[in-house]
Structure 1
Amino acid sequence: MKIFKKIIFIFFVFFSSKTFSEITFEQILQDPNNLELNLQYAKEQEALGNYKPVIATLERLSDIYSDNLDLKLYLLSISLKIDSKERTKDIIDQIKRSPVLTNAIRQRLDEIVKTLEAQDKQQKNEWVQFIDIGYNSTLDNNVNTKSDSSTLYISDSLSNYAADTIDDDDFQNIVIKYGAYKQLSNTSNINFNVGKGFTRQNRDKNKENDAHSLFINYNKQINKNYISTFYSLNENNNLHESDYVVHSFILENRYGFRPNQNIVLSGNYSLTDYRTDSVFTAAEDKNNEAQGLAVGYEYFINQNNNIKFKYGFNDYNAKLDSYGYDNEYRRISYFTRIKNINFNLSQTINYNTYDKADTFVKSDAIRDDKIKTNSISMSGSLDQLLKLEFLKNIFYSVSYSDIKSKSNILNYDYHKDIYKFGLTKRITF
């Protein structure tokens, strides 16, 4: 656990701020061939997001210093940022003719060309296919959600947890997915993926399963409305708990009432089916049907910073009423991107009120919970983080969540910390 915390700490502190001196365009006109002065001007304009003067400056410098490969590589990086495919291809052709080109740079250029070709394929309404291979590790310091009092009610009697109840535990998950996406028109697209996952636990066994998944998403833009539909199927074949299947459908509309602000409305429906067998004879009592609505607001401060709010509620109707409940939730999140690293801070508060008392726990109290989850995460591309080209198309994610549950039944008063780390390799073809 301590080693994992150190890894997360290193990831979160891996950025620093830079300051730039201000160079005016008049200074450039006075000394147009000064390489150092022009490069500093280009970097300042890039930091401000003014890419046109950056392009103009680098093109002029590349003509003057035609043998300077670094200038052309810098120009290529800017061209990629502004998504100028024709300009990018021309720059790549120029760089490939350089007599000082290394094999590493040539390999990187070939990868960029492949990416541009894949984007062209998408624009021509062809399917772009991919395979994701992922590894995820999770550390949980209260894997059995032991109550803060270390006691619990069983059939109205107050009891202690078993002496061998496990608190700290970790589990690993390997996921393989095949997927594809296609641009159907200038205003619509579709994507899907199917996956297989394996989860194994170190000490306890309640998280272990073999899972299958299907995900389908269709998007359509109509004027200022961006309409999305999502369908997912998750089949969880648990090794030591009852198996279950979840079907979920979401319809969402994002209305851009201002260039940097959206109102989001969504509705959802899900069906959960537990499988009763000779071991879990009452599993189907948890079968439930759920429907809900949500409203959200999104404000994009700039391309690297945004804040989002969401409020919603769900009604879970279970076969056995003690498993059914009404859910109300509130979520606020802030996203920022610093030096190619994505950071996200969020807080979610869930209020759950159950339909009927659970006689197996406490017959004279209908369960009422408040669960607050504070999370911080970071993600990005590993090659951009570590500056190593061979790590291209490998993506990382690191997160920490603090979960506190308060309930009118002490069984459900608990606190836990969850640490997650994941790596995913994407192969596109």
Structure 2
Amino acid sequence: MKKFKIILIFFIILIPSNLFSEISYNQILEDPTNLDLNLQYLKEQETKGNYKAVIATLERLSDIYSDNLDLKLYLLSISLKIDSKERTKDIIDQIKRSPTLTTAIRQRLDKIVSTLEAQDKQQDNEWVQFIDIGYNTTLENNVNTKSDSNSLYISDSLSNYATDTIDDDDYQNIGIKYGAYKQLSDTSNINFNVGKAFTRQNRDKNKENDAHSLFVNYNKQIDKNYISTFYTLNENNNIHESDYVVHSLIIENRFGLKPNQNVVLSGNYSLTDYRTDNVFTAAEDKNNEAQGLAVGYEYFINQNNNIKFKYGFNDYNAKLDSYGYDNEYLRISYSTRVKTINFNIAQTINYNTYDKADTFVKSDTIRDDEIKTNSISMSGSLNQLLNYEFLKNIFYSASYSEIRSKSNILNYDYNKDIFKFGLTKRITF
């Protein structure tokens, strides 16, 4: 029955609109106050993209039914769609004077006004600046990535993990970012942010670090091509592990096949530099240079639903060959929005083949892994979720990830589950 309903809905959507009788303008003139007739006419004209007729009819109806707030909200939605900012502001002012206005609608109107003001700033080529203050907590059931067999190879000898090896643990991250973005022209923009974060762990210490970050992004649209360049710098000062710095550069082109379909091509390059010291004397052996390519496809079912596919490969060349490997990956994701909540479901499969056997692990076997990650996440605004004005510009995120790794060396056969929850307060100025 459920399958039949889905097919029926699909069939109705695909039926040409001209199979149904349309309301003519003469019918409206003959019965101008018939609300049902006018609403049907509005829907037909909106489907055709005849927004001038829709606006004219809605303005006339709003005068006749001056207490009907729904008509004014309908007019507002059309005004937003055709990007008439001055008209939109006038309509908002009219709606705010309505005696039937609710607190929820007023809060929504205030948010629209704030968005329009931010867009005006961008159009004036001013930098829009912000500060993000965030708190995140993570729970893992295999924080030390123990193998399923609870054993591992060390220099070709099979050993068990120490009896006090910690499995379940949690760690917290507190961070702050300063950023800004600017509309350079009608077809280009730039944004950046710099940040600092602290991670502390409850039971173990391997995740603890102080991190610095820099992110720069430039976007340019040329016809149907939307070209983006991303540069990222991450400096990880680990407290109980070796420190390292990662430079990453990504160039991406999103080509619009159709209004709701894109093909995405990207290339990436990165450098990872580990810092050798008195404790971690061989850390620099992990230094690597990586380059890769990827191709993707995006299909937007509607405004709130989309499916994305991505296939790519990377080549990691390390100073010590046993740390170098070839990576091939496939990712599929589905995103949707239910009321005010954004949901994402994804699966990523990584295939890693290493360049040389690791004599510190198993000298007669070159490592080969398959790592499958299934994840589900949700995010949104606390203000929209709970409808409290004091929660404005506070955003939440929550996710669950299931990681299953299979390898030809039992050290890397493992399962782990990761839960994350975060809150971010954004201050814009």
Which category describes the TM-score, using the shorter chain as reference length?
0.7 to 0.9
Q: CA deviation at 1:329?
A: 0.8
Q: Partner of 1:155 in structure 2?
A: 155
TM-score normalised to structure 2 length = 0.84
Q: Partner of 1:18 in structure 2?
A: none
RMSD: 3.1
Q: CA deviation at 1:163?
A: 1.0
1:370-389 matches, within 5 Å, as 370-389=370-389
Q: Partner of 1:326 in structure 2?
A: 326
Describe the SS at the equivalent of 1:125.
Answer: coil
Q: Partner of 1:245 in structure 2?
A: 245
Q: Partner of 1:146 in structure 2?
A: 146
Unpaired segments of 5 or more residues in structure 2?
1-20
Matches of 1:337 and 1:208 in 2, distance apart? 34
Residue 110 and residue 380 in structure 1: after superposition, are their counterparts in 2 closer, same or farther (change >3 A)? closer
Q: Bigger shift: 382-391 or 165-174?
A: 382-391
Residue 368 and residue 186 in structure 1: after superposition, are their counterparts in 2 closer, same or farther (change >3 A)? same
Q: CA deviation at 1:260?
A: 2.4
Give the conservation status (yes or no) of the 8 Å contact 1:51–1:78: no
> How many aligned residue pairs are there?
406
Q: Partner of 1:178 in structure 2?
A: 178
1:24-63 matches, within 5 Å, as 52=51, 59-63=59-63
Q: CA deviation at 1:213?
A: 0.6
Matches of 2:310 and 2:61 in 1, distance apart? 49
Q: Partner of 1:271 in structure 2?
A: 271
Q: Partner of 2:197 in structure 1?
A: 197
1:19-418 matches, within 5 Å, as 52=51, 59-67=59-67, 72=72, 75-76=75-76, 79-80=79-80, 83-97=83-97, 109=109, 112-418=112-418
Residue 423 and residue 34 in structure 1: after superposition, are their counterparts in 2 closer, same or farther (change >3 A)? farther
Residue 71 and residue 261 in structure 1: after superposition, are their counterparts in 2 closer, same or farther (change >3 A)? closer
Q: CA deviation at 1:194?
A: 0.8
Q: Bigger shift: 136-145 or 331-340?
A: 331-340
Matches of 1:195 and 1:160 in 2, distance apart? 40
Give the conservation status (yes or no) of the 8 Å contact 2:22–2:44: no
Q: CA deviation at 1:388?
A: 2.8
Q: Partner of 2:428 in structure 1?
A: 428
Q: Bigger shift: 363-372 or 121-130?
A: 121-130
Give the conservation status (yes or no) of the 8 Å contact 1:356–1:366: yes
- Return the letter of the residue paired with 1:168: D
Q: CA deviation at 1:384?
A: 2.1
Matches of 1:42 and 1:317 in 2, distance apart? 64
Give the conservation status (yes or no) of the 8 Å contact 1:45–1:54: no
Q: CA deviation at 1:46?
A: 13
1:78-104 Cα distance to aligned partner (Å, 9 max, x none): 644664322221023324555787899
Q: Partner of 2:14 in structure 1?
A: none
Residue 300 and residue 289 in structure 1: after superposition, are their counterparts in 2 closer, same or farther (change >3 A)? same
Residue 51 and residue 418 in structure 1: after superposition, are their counterparts in 2 closer, same or farther (change >3 A)? farther
- Return the letter of the residue paired with 1:360: F
Matches of 1:145 and 1:153 in 2, distance apart? 14
Residue 51 and residue 240 in structure 1: after superposition, are their counterparts in 2 closer, same or farther (change >3 A)? farther
Give the conservation status (yes or no) of the 8 Å contact 1:38–1:57: no
Q: Bigger shift: 328-337 or 257-266?
A: 257-266
Q: Partner of 1:14 in structure 2?
A: none
Give the conservation status (yes or no) of the 8 Å contact 2:208–2:240: yes
Give the conservation status (yes or no) of the 8 Å contact 1:345–1:377: yes
Matches of 2:84 and 2:203 in 1, distance apart? 52
- Return the letter of the residue paired with 2:256: G
Matches of 1:340 and 1:151 in 2, distance apart? 46
TM-score normalised to structure 1 length = 0.84
- Return the letter of the residue paired with 1:334: Y
